[in-house]
Chains A and B, each alone.
Chain A
Amino acid sequence: MSLVFLILSLLSMAAAVAVKVMFVPASEGINITGAHVFFTLKTPIQDLPITEAQVNSWCVILAVMFLCLFLTSGLKTRNISVRQLVAEWIVEKVTTLVRSNMGEFFEGFAPFIAAILGLSAFSSLSSLLGIFPPTSDINIIAGWAILVFILITYYKMKAGPWIYMKSFGQPVPLLAPLNIISEVATPISMAFRHYGNVLSGSIISVLVAVGLTDVSHKIFSFLPGAFSDFPYLRIGVPAILSIYFDLFSGCLQAFIFAMLTMLYVSGGFPAEEYAARKKRRQERAEARAARANAKEQKAEI
């Protein structure tokens, strides 16, 4: 049963490759045009283009989901398998990370942080399969960043909207416009950081590959016929760059996105005001209960 999930997970990545091979026109030389638009949905509000980045990101979501199902299928309490050990290790690491960075109150955030980490890392690593990495499209990352922004604002409002409004007037009310700008700049900078890193990696890789083609044509031009046309230097050399740009940078940016999410959400949360508000509410509820009790007793008498 569990093997089915693993095969489904691999199949969804293979589907992304198949879609790329079948529907995206091949290109020669330098071609940096962004995601290929498959078709456009006509909706009453606005046309909705379905792009390569979106399709790939759905495939990555499916792959991660089936991978999780594969890891967690057939859980046991004793005689546990390697698969279950890996799953437990991931859960434990993420929980420790969330608890040490966000505190006890936000412990429930662990699944969300793990989802962001996994989705972002797998999206960046999908470029190793030769498909368009979803993280090098600003629209995908901007969606995640807006989600995080909504979370940040929700937790800032937890202690009441008045305290949220008042936080813009800190330290002096004159700085309110600047505070609003810095509030809006949070999701923008998060989105641009992740997207810029992945996109710059892929652009530099393409430029290096094209440059190496020209250099190898110059060096090997003495070879007869078709031998001189083959770009020998492109074998293996761009892969060294790929170790940094695809493997290291992709994983690091995923980690940083998750880390910043944790820091912003827990940093913006007004813990003291929230505690005070909770206490006030509890006192009010107790007083109401006591009053109701007294009324009841009076009625009985």
Chain B
Amino acid sequence: MLELAIGIILGGCALGAGCAMIAGIGPGIGEGHAVAKACEAIGRQPECKGDVTTTMLMGCAVAETTGLYALVIAILLIFVAPGRFVEILMNAVG
């Protein structure tokens, strides 16, 4: 019975980590948009390539933040949470 419970905990943590990384879609689309617009801008005004690139990289980094939050949650779920949850279960069972 205890093995089943621990298995459910581990499986839940892995599934949760996978679900959390769905958030990777958003920054991907957003950064793609930003880079596409930057390419257009450089095509229109090649002389301001440096400024456009710097601003684009800044914007990409800020847009990436949500994805990184998801990544941190996923890393916690994989490497930290299982041990904690199993400990809680063991304490509850006694």
Contacts and interface: CB of A to CB of B under 8 A. Distances in A.
Interface of A: 32-33, 189, 192-193, 195-197, 199-200, 203, 252-253, 255-256, 259-260
Contact of B68 (A32, A196, A260): A196
Contacts, number: 34
B9 interface: no
Interface string B36-78: 0000000000000000000001100110110011011001000
Contact of A256 (B57, B69, B71, B75): B57
B71 A196 contact: yes
| Number of chain B interface residues as a range | 10 to 19
Q: Is the interface of A mostly helix, strand, loop or mixed?
A: helix
A255 B56 CA distance: 13
B85 interface: no
Contacts of A195: 72
A192 B72 contact: yes
B68 A256 contact: no
B72 A193 contact: no
A203 B75 contact: yes
A252 B61 contact: yes
Given A33-B79, A259-B58, 6 more contacts: A32-B79, A193-B62, A193-B65, A193-B68, A196-B68, A200-B68
Contact of A192 (B58, B69, B79): B69
| CB-CB nearest 8 A-B residue pairs | A196-B68, A256-B61, A189-B65, A193-B65, A196-B71, A200-B71, A196-B72, A259-B58
Nearest to A101: B54
A86 to B, nearest CB: 21
B64 A193 contact: yes
Contacts of B71: 196, 200
A199 B57 contact: no
Contacts of B58: 256, 259-260
Contacts of B72: 192, 195-196
